[in-house]
Amino acid sequence: MASTEGLTTEQRDFWAENGYLIIPNALSPETVDELLRESHQLLEDFSLDGHPMTKFTTGDDASSSAHVGDNYFLTSHDQIRFFFETAAFSSSGVLLKPKTRAINKIGHGLHLLSPAFRSATLTRGNLAIARDLGFSDPRVLQSMVICKQPEIGGAVPSHQDSTFLYTNPPSAVGFWYALEDCTESNGCLSFAPGSHRRCEVKKRFVRMEGGGTGFEDVQSAGEWSEEDETFVLGPVERGSLVLIHGNVLHKSERNTGMGSRFIYTFHVIEGENKYDEKNWLQPTAEGFSRLNDVE
Ligand SMILES: O=C(O)CCC(=O)C(=O)O
């Protein structure tokens, strides 16, 4: 589906230097339309009956309790589940928006259960890119649509994806496809170029022994401070692919506009690296999806 078959030398050099890479026109307009249609259909079809109303909160501060960790979230790896925007509720917990305009993200098993997302994920184009990034056994471990709803789409604080998708050694890479134009006003991504070379992963998001989730220090990490990093905006047009190194610091701001900012993203880890039972996201008995199987 990605019209690209691997990366050029120039693209690989940019990636190595900066820890991210923007590839315009990676999806055809027809595919973008299909994925958007599927996203809207899922939002129309899910039921609020019995829904735990789990909010997706992205506080990644170890001292904060503002991170999601209920059972609905922890067992979402092979399901299509719907996580709310915090700002969709009043202070007394009343849902203020229609459900289709209240969801922060849909995840984390779209690549397993939705034919449209599956065929946009397990592609030769994505495999060729993964190989060019150095993967031997690339495994897709999660997928999601992030909606950044009009007016209430929340900011995603600066983070490294390998904190949340930890392997030893770290290997996560995000494949982030824009389904709508992403601009400064609707909360496009921004990156600290080169931070993947300076900033080892300091902490990992784990299942806590007493239940829920929290952060654990990663012992080997050297000293660095996010305050020393400078972020650059990465606005992109719909159909673009953004590759995100698991160690690069990146974030997105609130959507203050009147339109949504839908994107589809899935993450890949190296199947040969150690993935342990502490991680919040656990594989099914079959293991994570092998990108090598598309050959
Ligand atoms: O889409 C966004 O706004 C943030 C996505 C992100 O940070 C990620 O996928 O790691």
Number of other residues whose CB lies within 10 A of the CB of residue 30: 9
Structure token digits, residue 222: 């050297």
Torsion region of 82: left, alpha or beta (phi above 0 gives left; psi -120 to 50 gives alpha): beta
H helix runs in the chain, sequence order: 9-18, 29-45, 71-74, 110-113, 115-121, 124-132, 161-164, 195-198
β-pair type (189-191, 250-252): antiparallel
For range 268-294, the mean pLDDT: 96
Q: Which atom of ligand 1 is nearest to the CA of 148?
A: 3
Q: Which atom of ligand 1 is nearest to the CA of 265?
A: 9
Q: Which atom of ligand 1 is nearest to the CA of 161?
A: 10
For range 39-54, the mean pLDDT: 94
Class of domain 9-294: mainly beta
Distance CA 69, CA 55 (A): 10
Query: Residue 1 pLDDT more than 60?
Result: no
Residue 152's contacts (CB-CB under 8 Å, 6 or more residues apart) are: 85, 87, 88, 97, 101, 102, 255
- 62 falls in which pLDDT band (50, 70, 90)? very low
Residue 93's contacts (CB-CB under 8 Å, 6 or more residues apart) are: none
| CA proximity to 18, closest of 232, 183, 203 | 232
| CA proximity to 260, closest of 179, 167, 205, 190 | 179
**In this predicted structure, what is the pLDDT of residue 57?**
75
For range 162-171, the mean pLDDT: 97
Structure token digits, residue 104: 């922060």
Q: 132 CA distance to ligand 1 centroid (A)?
A: 22
3-class DSSP state of 123: coil
Q: Is any ligand 1 atom within 6 A of the Cβ of residue 146? A: yes
- Element (H or E) spanning 57, and its range? none
Write down the domain spans for the chain. Answer: 9-294
What is the per-residue pLDDT across 195-238, written as a single tens digit (0 to 9) for each? Answer: 999 999 999 999 999 888 999 999 776 789 999 999 999 999 99
Query: Residue 68 pLDDT more than 80?
Result: no
Question: Average pLDDT of the chain?
Answer: 93
Token pair 């399901």 is found at 79
**In this predicted structure, what is the pLDDT of residue 219?**
75
Residue 103's DSSP bridge partners are 84
Q: Is any ligand 1 atom within 6 A of the Cβ of residue 156? A: yes
Cα-Cα-Cα-Cα dihedral sign, residues 183, 188, 192, 195: negative
Structure token digits, residue 286: 């079959």
**In this predicted structure, what is the pLDDT of residue 66?**
54
In this structure, the residue with its CA closest to atom 10 of ligand 1 is 161
Number of other residues whose CB lies within 10 A of the CB of residue 212: 16
Q: 179 CA distance to ligand 1 centroid (A)?
A: 13
Query: Residue 64 pLDDT more than 50?
Result: no
Q: 187 CA distance to ligand 1 centroid (A)?
A: 10
For range 49-54, the mean pLDDT: 89
Residues in the chain: 295
